[in-house]
Structure 1
Amino acid sequence: MSYIEELSLQYIDGQWRAGSGSWDIVDLNPYTGEKLAAITVATVDELDQAYRAAERAQKEWGKLNPYTRRLVFERALRLLEEREQEITQTIIAELGGTRLKAGFELSLCKDMLREAMQLSLRAEGRILPSPVDGKENRVYRLPVGVVGVISPFNFPLFLSLKAVAPALALGNGVVLKPHQDAPITGGTLIAKLFEDAGLPAGLLNVVLTDIAEIGDAFLEHPVPKVIAFTGSDKVGRHVAQVAAGHFKRTVLELGGNSALIVLDDADLDYAVDAAVFSRFAHQGQVCMAANRVLVDRSVAEEFTERFVRKIATLKVGDPLDPATQIGPLINSAQADSVTAQVDQAVAEGATVLLRGATVGTLMDPVVLTDIPADAPILHHELFGPVVVVLPFDGEDEAVRIANDTPFGLSGAVHTGSVERGVRLAQRIETGMIHINDGTIHDEPIVPFGGEKSSGLGRLNGDATVEAFTTLKWISIQHERSRFPF
């Protein structure tokens, strides 16, 4: 079945219904420009209804036997596997994702649902000693209540599920606001999945709307205790400021400007393969993507020649074609922005090693070098198929260049000596870095998050438990206390 038309509605308190706003989100196919759906936005009143529904439903859900909760995620995983082909078509149509990208995203989603099953049983309490005779200290780990989730357009199915599934598994209710360019894949598709898996009505609500309609109401509403946001650092800063003003916790997964570092003893062919995938997966619209490839000057010429040669073979085109490796950017505004940033870099003195055309939302890969150290393209996230190659002299210079950015999300080091790579990796100011691999990784039990402007907090495994639960201390005085008055 096609999810696009069927799921172009709000999902509030277990009901599928049209929004009552005064304008529509127009959901477009990034490749063809075809209008997939026009979705009337949810209003502030409907957002309030969603939060209140989650608040009501959570009270019973939070008390439910966690083994019973876990069954919902087992069924959701089976449904995801059964609907894999239909979901793949939706990712292609709504996001412009290639079949390779869709398969990668679905594999991440399956792992996350498996982890959610385990998280249902992970809210463990503790019994702690006391310096007071006869006193017992119990620490209970409880759901926070309701979590508000805001997800991006690039990997919307996974990045929504990454917060939604664990939050539900740990006994919370959720209100999800997906990006307006991915309302189905990042929003109502997930609601349908959990509805069919037997999740009680009201626990998960999806509001398809925009700040132009609701302002900061999603963040300011009194019901949610945690806001989980994935997106740009600019919006993330605003989310953090507003949420803090209302005493809400935040988990922020923001942008990146990753460096993939090739040392003089690296396997160059392997490093080329890793760098090409790390930069051009999903047209470079990945927060962990390797915007910058740093190469030891002694091997830079050889590496760069192989790197450019391989990039030139990448097939750009229709994401429905299984041979396509680079599909369209999410919209024409994004394509125009990336093109303008390349033009600016060239005007500032960058050397073009490879550049084709930009036609509509399709952009041929671009490789630049000889970038001035203060050029903006070196210091900010570039969400498109553009890579910068930077030679360096020695490890100290590699570290300096890699850290010369306000971001600190991911990275990679390629070397023939693992421990040399680890020593260098420890000097790079990122939340994650990978030896002899690409920069794009997410595993369900390993803490995921960034340093500097790449975010606050971590998700996955124990970090997710911390993010979506709270601690309550209950003490028991088995012997009578002596009070001073």
Structure 2
Amino acid sequence: MADFIDFTDLSGLACQYIDGEWLPGGGSWDIVDFNPYSGDKIASITVATVGEVDRAYRAAERAQREWAAVGPYQRRLVLERALRAVEDHEQEITELIVAEIGGTRQRAAFEIGLARDMIREAAQIALRVEGRILPSPKEGKENRLYRIPVGVVGVISPFNFPFYLALKSVAPALALGNAVVLKPHENTPIAGGTLIARIFEDSGLPAGLLNVLVTDIAEIHDAFIEHPVPRVITFTGSDTVGRHVASVAAGHFKRTVLELGGNSALIVMADADLDYAVDATVFSRFADQGQVCMAANRVLVDRAVEAEFTELFVARVAALRVGDPADEDTQIGPLIDQTQADAITAQIDQAVADGAQVLLRGTADGTLVSPTILTGLSPDSPVLRMELFGPVVLIVPFDGEDEAVTIANDTPFGLSGAVHTADVERGVRIAQRIETGMIHVNDTTINDEPIIAFGGEKQSGMGRLNGESAVEVFTTTKWISIQHGRTRFPF
């Protein structure tokens, strides 16, 4: 694995990976991969065409038949080798995350840690598939319920946490006997795609079981979803694109798992440990420059402690270090591209124009956007109900538990959340009233553990991943009955 990642020449990973071969795309144009901080070109990848989508899916279909017949212990060995590859090359993967995503070193360590845990869980999940024998009202009938792989899975991964969020589907799907075709986001084709192919190639995964297509909807349109081979499509990204993915997939009778946007609320009750709540809020909002679906867009603070919390919070955020993600001291690096930086700046400007009070106003220098804190928003302000994918946070005061719950639920999203209070059981009661798939008492809104079902409600998605939920997604049930003796038929 000496050439696992060669930063002097990334051409080895700037390819399509189809049926075990590293190939140029067949399209007429290139996706150019840029460092979001420096603007330097990392690599150019000629896009895959509709024909290559078909080739990848057909290769996956062929390879999956043999892979499904391989015992789970043998499949587990491949996952264990992939885990060792990540551990052995953590420094190289860190450098790639810093360069391609603009992630800080602390953020890279966080993502790689999540990835390790997910691969470790996938290695175990291969052994946890169980069948059942069920009773029958018919004499002599034996009912067996088998759980079998779905076949081929199409995975569409995002630009934020691309390494981990791709592995979140890829690793358990492979462990459970499926084949995968992965389409990474155009901004992170290596960390979210071809790097993963290299890891599994070096880990002995048979050719065809994992294919990576670097392409764009402008080239392939809906071919990735509409193709007849994949039975499950997993997508992580915006609710707008997720709605389209679900619609197209449903028209072709495909199962989908959608991990979409969020507008999480972190609630600070009057009895909370304010110093700790401030620390949790800073991480919940500004991890990965706020480009996290679980990030706390809104901080709901009891009016009794609003002034004290706000003073502590503003001072803490103002001290965050913004700059080069390669610098060990940097806490906030660049947004993924100029489009994202312009979009978040426009949202801030609109909120201020609508009457928001500025407690801290960040500046924008290219893709570097420093933190902004707003308060005093009108209850009908549109910014309170949308996902903010950048370093801006909204402070909203409330009077009493009921109002906190009402405000928290006043959003079309329902992914994550947090409640800070000295009374843990009160925190649980409040958490139970929040319309969200995940919520945490006295912790950050950003939590993901490999054995816990992960997913949202409302426009934050459909379905769950991780642990037993992954078994449900990436396998299907098959009923085989056996009649011992003769059945008497009515005619």
Tell me the TM-score range normalised by the shorter chain.
Answer: over 0.9
- Give the match for residue 94 of structure 1: 100
Question: How big is the alpha-carbon RMSD for the aligned residues of Structure 1 and Structure 2?
Answer: 0.6
Query: Of 373, 386, 402, which residue of structure 2 is paired with 1:367?
Result: 373
What is the rounded CA distance, in whole Å, between the counterparts of 1:357 and 1:169 in structure 2?
A: 46
Work out whether 1:60 is the aligned partner of 2:66: yes
Structure 2: segments with no counterpart, 5+ residues: none
Once the two structures are TM-superposed, the CA of residue 6 in structure 1 deviates from its matched residue by 2.2
Which deviates more, 373-382 or 419-428? Answer: 373-382
Could you say which residue in structure 1 is the equivalent of 2:343?
337
Instruction: Find out whether 1:407 has 2:413 as its counterpart.
Output: yes
Corresponding residue number in structure 1 for 2:231: 225
Q: Which amino acid aligns with 1:442?
A: D
Q: Select 1:307's aligned residue among 301, 309, 313.
A: 313
The corresponding residue for 1:77 is 83
The equivalent residue for 1:356 is 362
Equivalent position amino acid for 1:427 in 2: R
Runs (4+) of structure 1 exceeding 4 A deviation are none
1:344-386 CA-to-partner distances (Å, cap 9, x unmatched) read: 0000000000013100000010000001112121101000000
1:399-431 per-position Cα deviation (integer Å, ceiling 9, x unaligned): 010000000000000000000000000000000
- Which residue in the other structure is 1:2 paired with? 6
Residues 28 and 35, structure 1, Cα contact 8 Å, conserved in 2: yes
Alignment equivalent of 2:128, drawn from 122, 125, 128 = 122
- Give the TM-score of the pair, scaled to structure 2: 0.98
Is the aligned partner of 1:455 residue 2:461? yes
Q: Deviation of residue 221 (structure 1)?
A: 0.2
Asked whether the equivalents of residues 5 and 36 of structure 1 are also in contact (C-alpha less than 8 Å), the reply is no
Distance across 1 between alignment mates of 2:46 and 2:463: 34
Residue 269 of structure 1: how far off its partner (Å):
0.2
Give the percent of matched residue pairs that are identical in Structure 1 and Structure 2: 73
Q: Hey, what does 1:384 align to over in structure 2?
A: 390
1:179-218 equivalences under 5 Å are: 179-218=185-224
Q: Which runs of 5+ in 1 are unaligned?
A: none
Equivalent residues, number? 485
Tell me how far 1:484 sits from its aligned partner. 1.0
Partner of 2:434: 428
State the 1:50 CA deviation: 0.2
Amino acid at match of 2:281: A
TM-score by length of 1: 0.99
Distance 2:42 2:74 in 1: 37
Report the AA paired with residue 190 of structure 1. Answer: I
In structure 1, distance between residues paired with 2:94 and 2:468: 30
The offset of 1:162, in angstroms, is 0.2
How far is 1:5 from its partner? 3.1
1:265 deviation in Å?
0.4
2:388 partner letter: L
Q: What residue number does 1:281 align with?
A: 287
The equivalent residue for 2:138 is: 132
> Of the candidates 111, 115, 135, which is equivalent to residue 105 of structure 1?
111
User: Alpha-carbon deviations, 1:134-154, whole Å to 9, x = none?
Assistant: 000000000000000000000
8 A Cα contact 1:399 1:424, kept in partner: yes
2:69 is paired with a residue whose SS is: coil
- Cα deviation code 1:208-259 (max 9, x no counterpart): 0000000000000000000000000000000000000000000000000000
User: Which secondary structure does the structure 1 equivalent of 2:204 belong to?
Assistant: coil
Give distance in 2, aligned partners of 1:45 and 1:64: 29
Residue 276 of structure 1 and its aligned partner are, at CA, apart by: 0.3
3-state SS of 1:402 partner: helix
Q: Match for residue 258 of structure 1? A: 264
Distance 1:292 1:247 in 2: 37
- Which residue number corresponds to residue 169 of structure 1? 175
